[in-house]
């Protein structure tokens, strides 16, 4: 199975202090034969949020290093995928501005024969990390 991680899943995986770190880390340990994917917006969101959230205390450079470490971890690999999807390809359930990135991620996952892995139960068709 291929999974495209959303920003929240990626942050929860990388930050021990995140409220869902254990949940995502436990799920990741079961994904030994899965391909894990990110894309540029997910990675930029990871760096942006970690650098802006005072609770985490990261600089941009520290967040970049953490992301690189996550992607090179010996326990699993996380690959960057290309994004050639434009706004005209959003799913029909996208009705508000707040749903656009989720809809885009869902479509991008499909293009790459993957499933969107998230902590958000409100995304139709996504896999909610247990």
Which secondary-structure segment (H or E) carries 70?
helix 60-71
What pairs with residue 14 in β-bridges?
Answer: none
3-state SS, residue 77? coil
Range of the domain at 46: 2-128
CATH number, residue 13: 3.40.50.1010
Residue 76: per-residue pLDDT? 74
Q: Quick one: angle between helices 60-71 and 7-14, nearest 10?
A: 90
Tokens representing residue 67 in the block:
């992301």
User: Residue 66 contacts by C-beta under 8 Å, 6 or more apart in sequence?
Assistant: 14, 15, 50, 58
How many independent structural domains does the chain possess? Answer: 1
32 near 76, Cβ under 8 Å? yes
Separation CA 127–CA 102 (nearest Å): 12
Computed on alpha carbons and rounded to an integer, the radius of gyration of the chain in Å comes to 14
Residue 74: per-residue pLDDT? 61
Strands 127-128 vs 2-5: parallel, antiparallel or unpaired: unpaired
pLDDT along the chain (130 residues), means of 10: 94 93 93 88 95 92 95 81 85 87 92 95 95
Q: pTM for the whole thing?
A: 0.89
């Amino acid at each position: 199975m291929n999974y495209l991680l959303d920003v929240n899943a990626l942050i929860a995986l990388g930050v021990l202090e995140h409220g869902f770190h254990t949940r995502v880390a436990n799920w990741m340990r079961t994904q030994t034969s899965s391909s894990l994917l990110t894309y540029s917006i997910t990675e930029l969101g990871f760096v942006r949020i970690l650098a802006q959230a005072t609770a985490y205390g990261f600089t941009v450079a520290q967040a970049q290093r953490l992301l690189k470490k996550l992607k090179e971890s010996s326990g699993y690999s996380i690959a960057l995928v290309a994004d050639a999807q434009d706004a005209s390809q959003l799913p029909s359930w996208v009705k508000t501005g707040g749903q656009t990135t989720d809809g885009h991620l869902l479509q991008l996952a499909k293009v790459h024969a993957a499933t969107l892995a998230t902590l958000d139960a409100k995304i139709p068709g996504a896999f909610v990390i247990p």
